[in-house]
A and B are shown apart, each in its own frame.
Chain A
Amino acid sequence: MSNADTTPIAPEPLARQRIIQYLSAPGAAIGMTLLVVIVLLAVFAPLISPQNPYDLMQLDIMDGRLPPGSESYSGMPYYLGTDNQGRDILSGILYGLRTSLIVGVFSAIAAALIGTTLGLLAAYVGGRTESLLMRLVDLQLSFPTILMALMMLAVLGKGVQNVVIALIIAEWATYARTVRGTALVEREKEYIEAARCLRLPRWRIVFRHLLPNCLAPVIVIATMQVARAIGLEATLSFLGLGASVTEPSLGMLISNGYQYLLSGYYWISFFPGIALLVTIVAINLAGDRLRDILNPRNI
């Protein structure tokens, strides 16, 4: 996904060069490969998973808490075991990945859109708008994300949609601060002056000229933020504030297994956790390399 994002900035040969440069680091290559596999698994979850874990009709309580490798009554293998409601853990993970990825990607993109717009606005307009916006950013960044999210959930109530809203509100400030920093530097450069001399409309200068040159750090933060958002969504779901029990996300699956952990049913929590871990590590590996290449300031 990162490669596609850089194409509009760079002409074709440079883009190809960049891709090769990007994949030359083993960590990044592994991360990217894992990421592609994970996304494919999530997208095609309904086709490949043995069971639809959200369809209560397909669940049989008699199959509850079976260890990995056992078979269902009808002979279907449960490779990773089942949870307390007889839900196949493997299917649960595949479907849970979808929720996690959607929440992560959507909240990161929405926060990036809002944060970037406000950051650009602050840098270009300046004056009172800028100081007001930046005060708000400072205020928000002085509180940890999880506290902001808890605050939002205390206000909005539980549920996945509210988790997404909470994540967006908790994360936009990072983008705003970074974009403003970059834009302040870019604004003084000659091409912006040239655009101004041509008497281009202000929105055109901001969005066609300034924005593309401030994108590199945004892309890097957004990648990292997807991983953070996925982790945070899982955490909030684990605390019982996110996804519902009938349509579990990865965090909810882990939470389900928590109460059976002391009885030795380790697999209910263990495997979804591994899936979560691999997803986050893959995104971080891919993002780390992206940061090295794009090397933005202010992070």
Chain B
Amino acid sequence: MITSLIRRSIQALFVILAMTLIVFIGVSVIGNPVDILINPDANAAERTRVIAHYGLDQPLWRQYAIFLQGLLHGDFGDSFVYGRPALGLILERMPATLELAFSALVIALVVGLPLGLYAGLYPDRLSSRVIMSGSILGFSLPTFWVGLMFILVFAVELGWLPSNGRGDTAELFGVRWSFLTGDGMRHLLLPALNLALFKTSLVLRLTRAGVQEVLPQDYIKFARAKGLRESRVISVHVLKNLMIPVVTIIGLEFGSLIAFSVVTESIFAWPGMGKLIIDSINLLDRPVIVAYLMMMVLLFVALNFLIDICYTLLDPRVRMDGRA
């Protein structure tokens, strides 16, 4: 167990290092931030001064070394646009994104698991078929378009819910959250539902497939033959064995929720990281782009690491493989 942990940590470090190189070279070689930073009318002296200020005159490997050094200190340089540390900008907006992604995950689980369980247990009922067809729709509907339609229906036509911003926030652990106030909740509902749509279908289909895989197993028959109540068979024997795929999905999809929140945030003007990165790509704000991408790399490596550990704890077979 410990050796495999160490091995995985080393692998994770390599992945992070490789990604820093890819991201840095990609962003440095192809985009030219000088053009947008400097007023076209500026004279040569002014140009040189700005280029030197941002370290753009150094050879690439040197820039990379400086970048790596900065990375270790959490310093990605100042945003070209805001003139403030890039990492600070991102961290400032992170709670909004995390809040949105987490709410969406909760919605996906609360809706997806029971419906998937139902559709798996009673596959022949008409209601199950409707649920399954609905989930195909959930996969096919383009998220951003659904978001627009949410705005159209609930904000414009019915006027029930607000369509942009976070609304009132309240402070908890030194960070401001929307879900603590009634107004914030109202602002959160539409974006969270929008982001959850795809994941709900995924959780639903996964659960159903899992149920159908588990139900014919001998241990389920045995549990029933023992005379256990159906509710116990389902809650203990079926659900427990569903957990492995579902845990993986929760972990992996949480990351992808954060990545996809780019779209939802843009639609609902939710002031999170996603909105920031889109603006930054449009403005070629290199430090912010790099900082965002590196945050994402760290996040995903960390998530995969956690999932691996959960796997090992949940499934003894994986543990055996790790030792062999």
Contact = CB atoms under 8 A, between A and B. Distances in A.
A235 B267 CA distance: 11
A143 B252 CA distance: 9
A269 B255 contact: no
Interface string B79-93: 000000000000000
20 contacts: A139-B18, A142-B304, A144-B259, A144-B260, A150-B281, A154-B277, A155-B31, A156-B30, A238-B144, A238-B266, A239-B263, A239-B278, A240-B278, A254-B144, A254-B148, A262-B155, A276-B145, A277-B141, A281-B140, A288-B136
Given A144-B255, A144-B256, A240-B282, A273 B148 contact: yes
B144 A241 contact: no
Interface string A249-289: 00100100110011010100110010011001100110010
A277 B262 contact: no
A80 interface: no
Closest 8 CB pairs of A and B: A155-B26, A144-B256, A273-B145, A147-B259, A280-B140, A281-B140, A144-B259, A154-B289
Contacts of B144: 234-235, 238, 251, 254
B193 interface: no
B156 A269 contact: no
A153 interface: yes
B113 interface: no
A128 to B, nearest CB: 16
Contacts of B256: 144, 146-147
A126 interface: no
Contacts of B31: 154-155, 157
Main secondary structure of the interface of B (DSSP, over half): helix
B293 interface: yes
Interface string B228-267: 0000000000000000000000001001100110110011
Interface string B136-151: 1101111111001101
Nearest to B143: A235
Nearest to B284: A157
Interface string A197-230: 0000000000000000000000000000001000
A180 B276 CA distance: 39
Nearest to A234: B142
Contacts of A269: 145, 148, 152
Given A155-B30, A157-B30, A254-B144, A146 B149 contact: no
A156 B141 CA distance: 28
A86 interface: no
Interface of A: 139, 142-144, 146-147, 150-151, 153-158, 227, 231, 234-235, 238-241, 251, 254, 257-258, 261-262, 264, 266, 269-270, 273, 276-277, 280-281, 284-285, 288
B118 interface: no
B163 interface: yes
A154 B293 contact: yes
B175 to A, nearest CB: 24
Nearest to A231: B142
B15 interface: yes
B111 interface: no
Which of the listed residues B18, B145, B255 has the most CB atoms from chain A within 10 Å of its own CB? B145
Contact of B23 (A151, A234, A288): A151
Nearest to A285: B136
Nearest to B255: A144
Given A227-B140, A277-B140, 4 more contacts: A144-B259, A154-B31, A157-B31, A235-B263
Contacts of A238: 144, 263, 266
A266 B152 CA distance: 7
Contacts of A154: 26-27, 31, 277, 281, 289, 293
B102 interface: no
Nearest to A156: B30
A241 B31 CA distance: 15
Nearest to B293: A151
Contact of A262 (B140, B141, B151, B293): B151
B270 to A, nearest CB: 14
Nearest to B151: A261
Given A142-B304, A227-B140, A281-B140, A239 B266 contact: yes
Given A156-B30, A258-B148, A273-B145, A150 B262 contact: yes
Contacts of A139: 15, 18
A176 to B, nearest CB: 18
Contacts of B282: 158, 240-241
Contact of A284 (B139, B152, B281): B139
Contacts of A156: 30
Which of the listed residues B27, B140, B151, B277 has the most CB atoms from chain A within 10 Å of its own CB? B140
B311 interface: no
Contacts of B304: 142
B300 interface: yes
Contact of A239 (B152, B155, B255, B262): B262
A284 B201 CA distance: 14
